[in-house]
């Protein structure tokens, strides 16, 4: 069974370490991007066509990074029937900082109190949108190391992406993803196949510690993203070619060797351009591409393109977006569901894309595929790596359970409440004014939250934050089917370890108010 120490250890490493289960949380309200265009006085299509965005989720002052992570962790544990003593490592990747010392992970540990489990390694990992990926790598490394004790690792990536009024604001969003990591996973990491690039740049950063807003150099940020993609892909290809050569194969790696690809998505149009960029890399690395027929037809004029000079070359971009349109439809488009409907979640962004792809396919359709994952965080840090989907897609298999658990994603997106741009603007102003206040009681309505959402009740005079959880059985419009799925208790993932003796908790249970 997934995560079981007794059956998963083979040779020096446990077998097929990777993602066993996923849970995704986003706020219960959104603003329509077409309406936001009109409200901002932007040209029609600037946000919807130019950026490729339809809706943007956002948080009221009732939610912060702590509440997002509390919500997504408890949902994952409940929906998969997991005990808190089955987790031996918990790490949070985030760039949404509300305390310069105390980690979000320590706040989430309050969910573990009733279990008595305090033997949980890991803290927070921070570097812009890359923090979630770094936390995931740390979790995989822990399971594959001598430190592993047979329990699951739990990785949480969460952020609230907000911008000051202006051109960057429509690229915001909010949400959190929780991932259960262990052996015998349906999404297993391919060992040795990571291409990483890290470099210093001030493309996006947050030097004002009392503000949620970043400083952004938009053009530099795009250049950093695309240059990192070029370099990560080159390193990845070199590593997989070396593996194949050791196996006696001289085959060339191309994008067709990925079953599907997911990217960090600041906005959807950049993802489409990124896939075109990888096709440019395939084209330039080919010794003798056929430019008469096939995918490279009509591209002969671009044989001498220098990648480092083409980041903003409109002719190159247009030609390769057209040439890669079929690839995009087959391998990447489905991954943009959450990005298009909810916006940029920062650290969870690429994993929201992974969940989106899985949610829109059956287990048999994705079984055995290689998944390319490109993660980017400004400053900057990036990795392209691959996961291998298990071949076992039989009913009740780990893959079948993973796919089933994400099948309500579109339903949940559609059940959110639309808010007018004027109200959205007022809420952003309220967050701006109250972001770092002490002695503050939030004004947002708790009734507007999804059932089972953790929310902020107050910040006391010492900046200590208190939380409560909305009831799971509260009725909301368009929610009955969602509630039925959220409360389902059948077909759970079994716990990998024997339940520990219960130690009395120092505080009330998870349904009561929580303070930190």
Say which of 23, 78, 264, 357 is annotated catalytic. 264
Residue 204: φ, ψ to 5°:
-160, 125
Say which of 37, 59, 78, 129 is annotated catalytic. 129
List residues forming the annotated binding site for CoA.
221, 269, 273
To the query of whether residue 129 is one of the catalytic residues in this protein, the response is yes
| Residue with token string 């250049």 | 223
Q: How far is CA 333 from CA 105, 271, 350, in A?
A: 33, 9, 13
Say which of 95, 113, 212, 341 is annotated catalytic. 95
Structure tokens at 139: 């979790």
Structure tokens at 271: 């993802």
Let me know: does 50 contact 265? Beta carbons within 8 Å.
Answer: no
Distance CA 220, CA 225 (A): 9
Give, to the nearest 10 degrees, the angle between helix 349-359 and helix 131-143.
70
| Residue with token string 């409560």 | 468
Let me know: does 345 contact 174? Beta carbons within 8 Å.
Answer: yes
List residues forming the annotated binding site.
221, 269, 273
Task: Let me know how many helices (H) and strands (E) the chain has, helices first.
Answer: 16, 19
To the query of whether residue 256 is one of the catalytic residues in this protein, the response is no
- Nearest 5°: CA angle at 375, between 371 and 378? 170
How does DSSP classify residue 121? B
Nearest to 497 by CA among 120, 21, 5, 2: 5
Q: Provide the b/e sequence for 90-114 (b: ≥16 CB within 10 Å).
A: bbbbbbbebeeebbbbbbbbbbbbb
Catalytic residue IDs? 95, 129, 264
């Amino acid at each position: 069974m997934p995560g079981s120490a007794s059956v998963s250890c083979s040779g020096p490493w446990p077998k097929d370490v990777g993602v066993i289960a996923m849970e995704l949380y986003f706020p219960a309200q959104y603003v329509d991007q077409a309406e936001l265009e009109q409200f901002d006085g932007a040209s029609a299509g600037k946000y919807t066509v130019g950026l490729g965005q339809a809706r943007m989720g956002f948080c009221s002052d009732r939610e912060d990074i702590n509440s997002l992570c509390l919500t997504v962790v408890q949902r994952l544990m409940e929906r998969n029937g997991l005990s808190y003593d089955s987790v031996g490592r918990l790490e949070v990747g985030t760039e949404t900082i509300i305390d310069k010392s105390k980690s979000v992970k320590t706040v989430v540990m309050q969910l573990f109190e009733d279990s008595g489990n305090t033997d949980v390694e890991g803290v927070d990992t921070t570097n812009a949108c890359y923090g979630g990926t770094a936390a995931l790598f740390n979790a995989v490394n822990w399971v594959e190391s001598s430190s592993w004790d047979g329990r699951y690792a739990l990785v949480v990536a969460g952020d609230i992406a907000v911008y000051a009024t202006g051109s960057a604001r429509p690229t915001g969003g909010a949400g959190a993803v929780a991932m259960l990591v262990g052996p015998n996973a349906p999404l297993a990491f391919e060992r040795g196949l990571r291409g990483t690039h890290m470099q210093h740049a001030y493309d996006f950063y947050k030097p004002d510690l009392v503000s949620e807003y970043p400083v952004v150099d938009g053009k530099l940020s795009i250049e950093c993203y695309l240059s990192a993609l070029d370099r990560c892909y080159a390193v990845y290809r070199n590593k997989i070619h070396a593996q194949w050569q050791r196996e006696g194969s001289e085959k060339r790696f191309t994008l067709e060797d990925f079953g599907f690809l997911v990217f960090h998505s600041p906005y959807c149009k950049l993802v489409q351009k990124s896939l075109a960029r990888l096709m440019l890399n395939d084209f330039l690395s080919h010794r003798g591409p056929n430019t008469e027929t096939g995918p490279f037809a009509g591209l002969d004029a671009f044989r001498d393109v220098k990648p480092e000079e083409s980041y903003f070359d409109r002719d190159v971009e247009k030609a390769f977006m057209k040439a890669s349109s079929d690839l995009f439809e087959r391998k990447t488009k489905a991954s943009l569901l959450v990005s298009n409907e909810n916006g940029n979640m920062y650290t969870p962004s690429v994993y929201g894309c992974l969940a989106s792809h899985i949610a829109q396919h059956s287990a048999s359709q994705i079984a055995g595929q290689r998944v390319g994952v490109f993660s980017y965080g400004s400053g900057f840090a990036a990795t392209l790596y691959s996961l291998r989907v298990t071949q076992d897609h039989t009913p009740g298999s780990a893959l079948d359970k993973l796919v089933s658990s994400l099948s309500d994603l579109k339903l949940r997106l559609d059940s959110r409440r639309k808010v007018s741009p004027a109200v959205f603007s007022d809420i952003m102003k309220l967050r701006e004014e109250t972001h770092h206040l002490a002695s503050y009681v939030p004004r947002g309505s708790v009734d507007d939250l999804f059932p089972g959402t953790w929310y902020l009740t107050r910040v006391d005079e010492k900046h200590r934050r208190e939380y409560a959880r909305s009831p799971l059985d509260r009725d909301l419009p368009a929610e009955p089917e969602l509630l039925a799925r959220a409360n389902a208790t059948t077909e759970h993932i079994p716990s990998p370890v024997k339940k520990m003796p219960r130690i009395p908790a120092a505080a009330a249970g998870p349904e009561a108010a929580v303070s930190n």
